[in-house]
A and B are shown apart, each in its own frame.
Chain A
Amino acid sequence: MNADAFFALSDHLNAELHGSEILFCNLSSESSDFVRLNRNRIRQAGHVRSTTLDLTLIEDSRQVGGGCDLSGDPKEDQARARGLLARLRERLAHVPDDPYLSYSVEPSESDHCGDARLPPIAEAIGELIEAADGMDLVGIWASGDIAEGLASSIGHRHWHASTSFNLDWSCYLEADKAVKSAYSGFGWDPAILRGKLEAMREGLHVMSRPTRILEPGRYRAYLAPSAVGELMGMLAWGGFDLKSHRTHQTPLLKMARGERSFDPRIRIHEEHDRGLAARFTPEGFPMPPRVTLVEGGRFAGCLVDARSGKEYGEPVNAASDGPGSLGLDAGTLDASEVPGQLDTGLWIGNLWYCNWSDPNDCRVTGMTRFGTYWVENGEIVAPVKVMRFDDSLYHLLGDRLENLTRERELLLSAETYDGRSTDSMLLPGVLVSGIELTL
C-alpha cells in the first residue's frame, strides 16, 4: 500500500467518527521475497505481501486498540477497517478512563522514501550460489519494500518507506565449525559479496586447524562488533526503558542507584537520526535525534514511550521501550592492532543465545559461536570449541574493559518475527582483560 492509499483510507475512517472521538491509524506494510538457503542451494523460496492496519480509538479519557490485515483493494480495506472500528467503538463503551492515555495533540507531517538499487532477485541468488561454489552456505535472503505510516483525525500524516535487501548467512566446515557474514543495504554490488565470501574462505582455512578445547576459567578476550551486539541486545531487554527503571526491574538497577558503573569510556545512545527506522511514535510524537542512555559509564537517561511518559511524568522520546537504533561510542584501538593488543586469548566473533543469569547484577550467560579463535602472541592459532560464558556487564564493560576499537560496524537486524525489522546498531569491538567461561 502506498502513502496516498493509506491517507485516503484514514480520511474515510475519520469521516465516520462520532462526536468527540479521536482516531490514530498506524500502517505496517511489506512486500518481501524470502529465499532460504542450505548447502548453497535453495531450501525454501517465496513471496509475502502483508499490510497491517492498527487503530486506536479515543474518546475523552478512554481508549481501545486493535488491528487487522488489509488486502490492498480500497473497497475491501474500507470494509475491513470499518468493521474493526465498529468493534472498537463497541468496546470503548465498556472500558474505564485510562489515566495514562497519551497522544500528540499537535498535527505534524513527515515523508521519507529511501532510494534503493536492487537487482532482480533470482539473478542475485544465482550470483551468490555461483560465487559460493564449493562452500556449505546456509542462510536467508530477504528483500523488498517496507513502509510505515501514521495518520490521525487530529492531523498527523507521516510516511516512512524503504526498499532494501538483507543477506544473512554462514559457511560451515563441519559440525559447529563455521564463519558468519552479512551483507545488507540499499545498493547491491556483487563485488562486495565476492569479497565477503573470500574473507570467509580464509576464515574456514583457519577453522580447518585442530580445535582448541578450553577449560572453564577467566580468559583475556576480544569481542567483535557482532558479539558486542548480542550483549547490547541483552541491555535492550529492560536496560533502558523508563518503566523498568521506575519499577526497579532494570538490569542496570545498581547503576541507576549509583552502586556500580561501566568504564567511563562507555557512552551509549539511541540514535533516532540514523534514518533507517521511522522518526514518529504511533501516538504522533516526533522523536528527538538522539537520546543519551549511558554517559561516562554512568546512567544518563531512559527511553520514554508515550504511556510510560504519562505515568511517570517524563517527555516522550521513543516509540517503544526498547532501542531500535543503538549506538556505542568508539574507542581508540585501531582494528588492525587488535590481535597484537590481545596477545594471547580469545577472539570471539559472535555470541549466541544470551540471557540474564542474574539481572540484579547485570550478569549474562551465553555461548560463543561462529568465528571464535584462540590467539597466541598476536596470531590466530586455532578455532575454539564452543564455550559458555557467564559474566557481569559491570565487569565486561567496566573494570575489565581495556579498550574499544576506533572503527565501528553498522549491524542491520535480520530479524523477521513481526515483519522485516528496521532495527540497527552501530558498534565497536571490545577488548577485555577477562571473560568468565563456565562450561
Chain B
Amino acid sequence: MQHLCDIADLFLSRAPACDYWTLRLVEEEHDHLEVRQGVVEPSRLTYSSGAMVTLVKDGGIGYGATSDLSVSGLRIATERAAGWAQVHARLGLFEAGIYPRSSTRADYRTPVEEPWSTLPIAEKLDILQAANDALAIDDRIVDWSAWLTRRRVSQLLITSDGGRVSQILDYVHPGLVAVANEGSQTQRRRGGGSDGSQQGGLERIVAVRLLEDAPRVAGEALALLDAPECPQDTRDLVLLPSQMVLQIHESIGHPLELDRILGDERNYAGTSFVTPGMFGRYRYGSELLNVTFDPTVPMELVSGVADDEGAPAGREYLIRRGILERPLGGPLSQARAGLPGTANTRASSWDRPPIDRMGNINLEPGEGSLADLIAQVERGVLMDTNRSWSIDDSRNKFQFGCELGRLIEDGELTGLVRNPGYRGISASFWRSLDGVGGPESLEIRGVRNCGKGEPNQSVYVGHATPPCLFRDVAVFGGGE
C-alpha cells in the first residue's frame, strides 16, 4: 500500500486542472495451487498493477487506464481521459455536473488470522495431495482435484476533493471436485469450500473442512450415478444456502441493479422487470422476505468501507417484509434515476470503470432449523449446490439446476435424486416463500464470477442466506 500511496502523492503534486478528478490505483496478487489426480498442476503466480484516471472537465467525463505508473504514464492516461471528456461533453448521456464527488477518508483491511505466507508451498501441496487421496475412493471416480487460490487486492482511491480510501482485501479459496462416471452417466460434486467463498487467510482451509469434506464429495458423486432422475411435476422446494446464493443473485440482485433499470446493460446483461415506480410499494415476495445490501458483515466477499468511487459503505434494506424499498445504485445512478440507492459502484480492476454492482446481498434469517423447514413439507424436493443457471434478460423467467436433490415425503428426507432442476418466474416465485431458516442456519457465501458491463467485467459478490422453503414449484430431472 505504501507503494500506491507514493504514486498517489506524486500524482497529487501534479494534479490535472479540471472540475474534478479521481485516481484509482490497484495492485493484485494471485496464486493458484492445484493437485489433480495426484499430480501437481503448474502453479500460477500473477501480479497486476495499474491505474485509472477519471476526469470531469468542461462538461464531460472520460477515463484513461494504464499499467504505466510512472509520472509520464499517468500524464498520458490523464490526457486520454481529458480527450474522452471532451467528446462526452458533446455527446454524453447526462450532464457531467451530476458525477458524484467524494471526500471520503477511510481504510479497510481484511482481518487475517493465518497469512498465506505462513505455510510453505510444500505443505500446501501436501494438504492438496491428502485431499486427492481422500477423493479417489472408487474406480468410477474418473477425475478429481483439490485446489487453493489466494488473492490479495490492494486499492487506493484519491480524489481532488480530498478523498482517500485504502482497502486491502485478502482471500483464500479452497475447493474440491470429484467426477464419477458409469456408462453414459457422469455426475460431478464439488465441496471443500468451492461454493462458499469469504474473505480471510489460510484459516479458511480449516473453516471449510477441506480434507474432511473429500469423502462426502466423492461419495455423493458416486451415489448420484445410481440415483433416479428428479421427478417432473409441481411440488414444494427446499433450497440449501448453496443454491439460495444463486437464486438471490439472479432474481433479486441483478434485477435491482439501477444501471440495468436505467438501460445501460440492455445490450449485454439485460434490463430488469423492476421499474422505478415499483420502489416503496411493489410486493416482491412474501412477508418472510427481507433482503439487505450489507458491506458491514465481517469477512463476506464484498465487505469494506467504501465503493470504488468513494461512497461510504453502509447497510440498507432492499426488500422489507416482502415490499421493495430501494435499488442497488451508486450516487451517479441515484442522480440519474432520482432514487435512493447504495454504495455499490465497483470495477473489476484498474482497467475497467466502476459500474453498479451487487455487493453483499443477504437474505435475512427467519426462525427455525433446516429440519423445521423440511418438517413443513408433505411432498417436495431439497436441492443442493448450483450447477446450471439461466434467466431471461429482464431477470424474470429462470431455470436453475443443482448437483444433488433429495426427496421429501411427509416431513422427512427420503431418497437421493440426480439432475434436479426447477424453473419459475421471479415476480411470483418469491411470493411462494413459506419458510426461512433461523440465524443458526445462515451461511455466508458468494460467487466469484459475476459477469456484467461493456467492456466486460467479472467481480466477486457476497451472499449470506439461510435455507428456504418455497411452495408449488415446477421441478424436473435429466434426460432428453
Chain A residues proximal to chain B, CB less than 8 Å: 32-36, 38-39, 41-52, 56, 63-73, 76, 80, 84, 87-88, 91, 94-96, 98-101, 122, 125-126, 129, 136, 138-140, 142, 168-170, 172, 175-176, 178, 180, 247-249, 253-254, 257, 259, 307, 352-361, 363, 365-367, 369, 386, 388, 390, 392, 394-395, 415-417, 438-439
Tell me, rounded to whole Å, the shortest Cβ–Cβ distance linking A23 to chain B. Answer: 14
Stretch from B69-77, B207-215, B311-319, B436-444 at the A interface: B69-77
Q: Which of B259-300 contact A (CB under 8 A)?
A: 262-264, 266-268, 270-271
B45-73 vs A, Cβ < 8 Å mask (1 yes, 0 no): 11111101010000001111111111001
User: Do A100 and B262 form a contact, CB below 8 Å, given A47-B63, A248-B179, A358-B419?
Assistant: no
Q: Name the one of A52, A96, A359 contacting B40, with C-beta atoms under 8 angstroms.
A: A96
Q: What are the residues of chain B within 8 A of A43 when measuring CB–CB?
A: 93, 264
Q: What are the residues of chain B within 8 A of A35 when measuring CB–CB?
A: 84
Chain B residues proximal to chain A, CB less than 8 Å: 39-40, 42-50, 52, 54, 61-70, 73, 76-77, 80-81, 83-84, 87-88, 90-93, 120-122, 125, 142-143, 179, 181, 183-186, 188, 262-264, 266-268, 270-271, 351-353, 355, 388-394, 397, 399, 401, 419, 421, 423-425, 451, 454-458, 474, 477-480
Closest 3 CB pairs of A and B: A46-B63, A358-B478, A140-B454
Q: Name the one of B44, B92, B143 contacting A65, with C-beta atoms under 8 angstroms.
A: B44
Q: Are B264 and A38 neighbours in the complex by a CB distance under 8 Å?
A: yes
CB nearest to B39 among chain A residues: A99
With A and B bound together, what is the CA distance between A386 and B52 in angstroms? 39
Which of B122, B184, B424, B479: most chain A Cβ within 10 A?
B184
Q: What are the residues of chain A within 8 A of B67 when measuring CB–CB?
A: 49-51, 69-72
With A and B bound together, what is the CA distance between A388 and B425 in angstroms? 11
User: Do A84 and B47 form a contact, CB below 8 Å, given A50-B67, A72-B68?
Assistant: yes
User: Do A357 and B93 form a contact, CB below 8 Å, given A76-B70, A365-B390, A415-B456?
Assistant: no
With A and B bound together, what is the CA distance between A253 and B429 in angstroms? 34
User: Do A139 and B184 form a contact, CB below 8 Å, given A41-B91, A71-B73?
Assistant: no
Q: What are the residues of chain A within 8 A of B424 when measuring CB–CB?
A: 439
With A and B bound together, what is the CA distance between A395 and B480 in angstroms? 9
Number of A-B contacts (CB under 8 A): 269
Q: What are the residues of chain A within 8 A of B73 when measuring CB–CB?
A: 71-73
Q: Are A94 and B122 neighbours in the complex by a CB distance under 8 Å?
A: yes
Q: What are the residues of chain B within 8 A of A175 when measuring CB–CB?
A: 271, 394
Q: What are the residues of chain B within 8 A of A36 when measuring CB–CB?
A: 264, 454-455
With A and B bound together, what is the CA distance between A360 and B397 in angstroms? 24
CB nearest to B55 among chain A residues: A46
Q: Name the one of A52, A91, A253 contacting B43, with C-beta atoms under 8 angstroms.
A: A91
Task: List 18 contacting pairs A-B, 8 Å CB cutoff, sorted by A.
Answer: A36-B454, A45-B63, A46-B80, A46-B81, A47-B77, A49-B80, A56-B42, A64-B42, A91-B45, A172-B263, A254-B184, A353-B389, A354-B390, A358-B478, A360-B478, A366-B390, A386-B394, A388-B423
Q: What are the residues of chain B within 8 A of A439 when measuring CB–CB?
A: 397, 399, 423-425, 474
CB nearest to A129 among chain B residues: B91
User: Do A360 and B70 form a contact, CB below 8 Å, given A67-B47, A94-B120?
Assistant: no
Q: Are B456 and A417 neighbours in the complex by a CB distance under 8 Å?
A: yes
With A and B bound together, what is the CA distance between A41 and B84 in angstroms? 13
Q: What are the residues of chain A within 8 A of B183 when measuring CB–CB?
A: 257
With A and B bound together, what is the CA distance between A363 and B479 in angstroms? 8
Q: What are the residues of chain A within 8 A of B478 when measuring CB–CB?
A: 357-358, 360-361, 363
Given contacts A357-B421, A367-B390, 11 further A-B contacts (CB under 8 A): A46-B52, A69-B50, A95-B121, A99-B39, A138-B266, A138-B267, A176-B271, A353-B390, A367-B393, A415-B456, A417-B451
Q: What are the residues of chain B within 8 A of A84 when measuring CB–CB?
A: 45, 47
Q: What are the residues of chain B within 8 A of A178 when measuring CB–CB?
A: 266
User: Do A394 and B480 form a contact, CB below 8 Å, given A49-B65, A138-B266?
Assistant: yes
Q: Name the one of A49, A65, A247, A254 contacting B66, with C-beta atoms under 8 angstroms.
A: A49
Q: What are the residues of chain B within 8 A of A34 when measuring CB–CB?
A: 454-455
Tell me, rounded to whole Å, the shortest Cβ–Cβ distance linking B172 to chain A. Answer: 17
With A and B bound together, what is the CA distance between A98 and B45 in angstroms? 17
Tell me, rounded to whole Å, the shortest Cβ–Cβ distance linking B404 to chain A. Answer: 14
